[in-house]
Amino acid sequence: MSQPFVIVSGLGILATLAVILKKYILISLSPLELIFYGHILEFILVILFFLATGKIKSVLQIQQRLHNPQLLLAIIVYACLMIFGTFGILWLVKYKSISKFIPLMAVVSTFLTFLAGVVLYKEKATMRDFAAIIFMCVGIFLMNWK
């Protein structure tokens, strides 16, 4: 087994556990409360990580790299996408069936990421890659077909 496959599998398992935990937590908290408390804890854990690893200096030197307006704009857009995505996902987790929308989101994300890699970054794609994307889309269509 290749190392990227193991890492991707592990991240997939962690993402699944996170969705299940979000569904459980949203029984007691509102989406806004979960976002607030979750981000506070994430911030504390990230700061502790940087302090423990000694990488805090490299993070604090980012002001030198932020003179690039394109990089600054990309970071702002990324942060906005993360915020809107968080709100959207939490609404879906709280009010909809996770067994239906999470697989659909995964396929849409995979399809768009595949297209971006091929079109924007000129990554190589084989016929097998295209076939896999088609099979994924058909599978999600069958899952959601009434």
**Rounded to 5 degrees, what angle do the CA atoms 72, 11, 71 make?**
10
pLDDT at 73: 92
Is residue 146 predicted with pLDDT exceeding 80?
no
| pLDDT, tens digit (0-9, with 9 covering 90-100), for 71-110 | 889 999 999 999 999 999 999 999 998 988 888 888 889 9
In terms of Cα–Cα distance, which of 109, 142, 137, 114 is closest to 15? Answer: 109
Distance CA 99, CA 4 (A): 26
Is residue 132 predicted with pLDDT exceeding 80?
yes
What are the residue boundaries of the structural domains of the chain, listed by start? 1-96, 97-146
Mean pLDDT (whole number) for 1-18: 89
Distance CA 91, CA 86 (A): 9
| pLDDT, tens digit (0-9, with 9 covering 90-100), for 13-71 | 999 999 999 999 999 999 999 999 999 999 999 889 988 888 877 777 777 777 788 98
pLDDT at 1: 64
Contact predicate 34/22, CB 8 Å: yes
pLDDT at 55: 81
Q: When comparing pLDDT for 105 and 145, which is higher?
A: 105
Distance CA 139, CA 146 (A): 13
| Total-model pTM | 0.72
Phi, psi of 28 (to 5 degrees): -100, -30
Dihedral sign for Cα 119, 124, 126, 129, please. Answer: negative
pLDDT at 101: 87
Dihedral sign for Cα 146, 111, 124, 9, please. Answer: negative
